[in-house]
Amino acid sequence: MSTKPLTQNKHQRTRFQVMYWRPKQLSRGWLLFTMMFAVGGLILVEKCTRSMTPENVETMTSAARKAREAMSWIGQVRAQQGHRVIDKLDPQGSHLIGPSMSMVTSKLGAIESKQTSINPNFAAVVVRWLSEAGVKPGDQIAIGASGSWPGLNIAVYAAAETMKLRPTIVLSAASSQYGANSPEMMWLDMERHLAERDIIPFRAAAASFGGLYDHASGMTDDTKAMLADAIDRNAITRIPGQTLRDSIRERMVVYGDKPYAAYINVGGGSASIGGTAGQACLPAGLHQQISDSQAMPDCVAARMIERGIPVINMADAKGIASQYAMPIAPPELPQVGEASLFGKLTYRRSLAAIMMVAIGGVLSITVAPGRCLRFARRLRMKEQNETPSQVEWMV
């Protein structure tokens, strides 16, 4: 008996078939609802956030406003003196960016970092670090600053004024590039103008030449004369000595044995922070101890930590700005509050969890409607078949 091939049987199904899956009993309306529900849940979670603000946000805001006022006043004074802004160097027109070179310039500087430091919100950073160090209103603090970072100096002074602290300040007259390195308007002059305007009343107790070994080593006699004149015209005591060790010792004499709550360094002065080597051991931020005491050179910051005094290092403006979501080299003066440390928005985890479960349930119905329907029927039958544990017979 012969059989016909499978392909010749018209009524025989082919060996392979292509099947398209489509969920049963699901309309386009349901699919649209699923999509809209998921998108709506995402929007709800994104919109229903909550703001996390630190406890001392008012103090940080006040300090930033004080810093903005101080920066504005120095800019006005410089403009009245006839100072012309170079747009390429100082796009903000702040008058706080000095020239690339002058008779009182001590070393090279990074223009982008100096531009970044012209931001009043750095004062809020100082308030935060002081608070983390346990500093309270009325406490005494020590400050060691150079003329290289007038913007950061203003931030430190504004924070101390807002927190009602009592600082003892020792300065270095010289400045690196793009700082307060104009001979006619150095940081010592800026400090005096702020005090005379009663914006920030603090005045330095003493000042050194700054530069190499903190005594302008290698600089010309004319430069040293300019530095001496800047110290004298602002009625500040000049730190004596010929060596770096002398300068460190004399600074500690000025600071004395007061119970300081913190020591703040601004810049990279050899006597204050130990120069480049000291910056490597104590990078920008708050420090309770030295990470590598053997590599740390002798300086005021090292001696303060030995006395158990926390050290705050205000340096690396770009690094600090990146840490707290502040702009790098902003073309305009940032507004007060434009930084993450003033507070940030966070998602409501409970709401996100609820929406995830709800969206998961809707998607389950969409993907496997039959299985979900059978599961629902089982639950209904189980509820109907359940017998109460205690039955009252009616007679």
pLDDT in tens, 93-115: 999 999 999 999 999 999 999 99
Mean pLDDT value across residues 236-250: 95
Residue 280: pLDDT band (50, 70, 90) is very high
Residue pair 104/227 in contact by the 8 Å Cβ criterion: yes
Given the DSSP bridges, would you call strands 140-145 and 166-172 parallel, antiparallel or unpaired?
A: parallel
Among 36-50, 69-83, 169-183, the minimum mean pLDDT is found in 36-50
**pLDDT greater at residue 241 or residue 370:** 241
**pLDDT greater at residue 218 or residue 124:** 124
283-290: which pairs have CB atoms within 8 A and are 24 or more residues apart? 283/313, 283/315, 283/316, 283/319, 284/313, 284/314, 284/315, 284/316, 284/319, 284/320, 285/129, 285/312, 285/313, 286/129, 286/132, 286/133, 286/310, 286/311, 286/312, 287/311, 287/312, 287/313, 288/133
Give dist(CA 251, CA 245) in Å, integer: 10
Q: pLDDT at residue 395 above 50?
A: no
pLDDT in tens, 3-60: 445 445 555 555 556 555 555 556 677 677 777 878 887 887 777 766 667 788 999 9
**pLDDT greater at residue 345 or residue 269:** 269
Given the DSSP bridges, would you call strands 185-186 and 181-182 parallel, antiparallel or unpaired?
A: antiparallel
Q: pLDDT at residue 251 above 70?
A: yes
pTM over cut 0.85: no
pLDDT in tens, 117-159: 999 999 999 999 999 999 999 999 999 999 999 999 999 999 9
Q: Which residues contact 57 (CB under 8 A, 6 or more apart)?
A: 342, 343
Give dist(CA 267, CA 279) in Å, integer: 9
Output the pLDDT for position 249: 97
Residue 1: pLDDT band (50, 70, 90) is very low
Residue corresponding to tokens 């390195």: 181
Q: What are phi and psi of 186, to 5 degrees?
A: -95, 175
pLDDT in tens, 347-380: 667 877 887 887 877 777 776 666 666 766 776 7
Give dist(CA 268, CA 278) in Å, integer: 8
